[in-house]
């Protein structure tokens, strides 16, 4: 039995308010939503995704005032929020009231990750629910993130009451995550390039040493993984490999023949899925320049290429 897909935000909001899980599209990837105030609803997210319980969730809201009611943004955080929200940016700040969300959302941390997504139907849904909605990417833990409603319906189980189909995601990579504890610090590369953030801040972002990054997202070394192995910086494919091209490196499928990183980001997860179902043992991926969105694309590819544990939880 597959998960029902619908296009009515009211129906999705009713289900969320009743404590059910509903997946919904955003500009980045599809999220698996639950009422962030309810322990019971949020617990279902961890179970549906087989997600390790120590990995906290992002609370999604419709307005800046709803975000500020949850966390203290500070002056720099507010400047980023005013410039980039709604958009592919998540801000992690001190949680004002520990009772405002279930402790399962923060995994017990004194901080909360908050985001306003840039998708009209998702915003309508959040307005109707009128409460923070906890939503990780709507994929089984460790797997490729979904960028269409069909991806979600095919890969998650009956714990999910429905999928609000908001169309294919326009950005295609998860949000960039910035911590506002101390100087703004990059926790995850994502759909908003560092350069844009640094222009607003007027200075470089801090980055975390690897050892400190336990709380951040796909900071688990293996993540975003297709079934096939991944080989990076491949100018050509070897026998038995599928080749994912970029720019002049043509490949079996090309992320962007014009070498446009925005187009490549949008196409990435779908392209990996398509090559994965060809049955190739390895997907060889052309080099992607390490600038702008290229950093987030390379981050996802490196995690997809990392040695895989038997289970992520
Ligand atoms: O684009 C996105 O961010 C998507 C859409 C659905 O909004 N969501 C998403 O969620 O990518 P998820 O759970 O796959 O990744 C969010 C990551 C978590 O893995 C977690 O490590 C990090 O955000 N995070 C959440 N709360 C945090 C906190 N208080 N401190 C540090 N990191 C946190
Ligand atoms: Mg994820």
Edge-first strand listing for the sheet containing 133-134? 5-6, 160-164, 21-24, 31-35, 133-134, 58-60, 111-115, 89-94, 176-179, 185-188, 206-207
Ligand that lies nearest to the alpha carbon of residue 134, given by its number in the listed order: 1
Supply the DSSP symbol for 141. T
User: What integer pLDDT is reported at residue 248 of this predicted model?
Assistant: 98
User: What integer pLDDT is reported at residue 304 of this predicted model?
Assistant: 93
pTM: 0.92
Q: CA 115 to CA 85: how far, in whole Å? A: 8
Ligand that lies nearest to the alpha carbon of residue 59, given by its number in the listed order: 1
Q: CA 141 to CA 310: how far, in whole Å? A: 12
Cβ burial of 214 (10 Å; 0-12, 13-18, 19+) is exposed
Q: Is 178 in the pocket of ligand 1 (CB under 6 A)?
A: no
Ligand 1 pocket mutation pick from 73, 166, 174, 214 by most atoms within 8 angstroms of CB: 174
Between strands 282-285 and 111-115, the pairing is unpaired
User: What integer pLDDT is reported at residue 221 of this predicted model?
Assistant: 73
User: What integer pLDDT is reported at residue 219 of this predicted model?
Assistant: 58
Residue spans of the chain under pLDDT 70: 1, 209-220, 310-313
User: What integer pLDDT is reported at residue 111 of this predicted model?
Assistant: 97
Cα 261 to the center of its chain, rounded Å: 18
Q: CA 110 to CA 245: how far, in whole Å? A: 43
User: What integer pLDDT is reported at residue 225 of this predicted model?
Assistant: 87
Q: Is 111 in the pocket of ligand 1 (CB under 6 A)?
A: yes
User: What integer pLDDT is reported at residue 312 of this predicted model?
Assistant: 43
pLDDT, averaged across the chain:
93
């Amino acid at each position: 039995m597959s998960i029902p897909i619908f296009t009515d935000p009211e129906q999705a909001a009713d289900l969320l308010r009743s404590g059910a899980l509903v997946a919904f599209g955003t500009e980045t990837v599809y999220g698996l939503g639950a009422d962030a105030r309810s322990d019971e609803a949020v617990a279902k997210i961890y179970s549906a995704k087989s997600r390790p319980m120590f990995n906290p969730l992002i609370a999604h809201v419709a307005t800046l005032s709803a975000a500020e009611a949850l966390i203290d943004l500070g002056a720099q955080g507010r400047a980023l929020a005013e410039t980039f929200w709604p958009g592919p940016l998540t801000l992690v700040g001190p949680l004002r009231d520990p009772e405002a969300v279930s402790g399962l959302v923060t995994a017990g941390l004194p901080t909360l990750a908050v985001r306003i997504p840039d998708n009209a139907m998702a915003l309508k849904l959040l307005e109707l629910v009128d409460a923070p909605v906890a939503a990780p990417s709507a994929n089984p833990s460790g797997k490729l993130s979904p960028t269409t409603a069909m991806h979600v319906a095919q890969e998650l189980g009956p714990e999910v009451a429905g999928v609000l189909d908001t169309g294919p995601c326009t950005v295609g990579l998860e949000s960039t995550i910035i911590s506002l504890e101390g100087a703004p610090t990059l926790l995850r590369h994502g759909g908003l390039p560092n350069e844009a953030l640094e222009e607003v801040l007027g200075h470089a972002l801090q980055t975390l040493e690897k050892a400190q990054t336990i709380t951040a997202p796909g900071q688990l070394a293996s993540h975003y993984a297709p079934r096939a192995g991944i080989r990076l910086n491949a100018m050509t494919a070897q026998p038995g490999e599928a080749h994912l091209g970029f720019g002049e490196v043509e490949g079996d499928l090309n992320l962007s023949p014009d070498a446009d990183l925005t187009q490549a980001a949008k196409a990435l997860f779908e392209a990996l899925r398509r090559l994965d179902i060809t049955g190739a043992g390895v997907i060889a991926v052309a080099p992607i320049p390490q600038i702008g969105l290229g950093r987030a694309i390379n981050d996802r590819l490196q995690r997809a290429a990392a040695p895989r544990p038997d289970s992520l939880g």
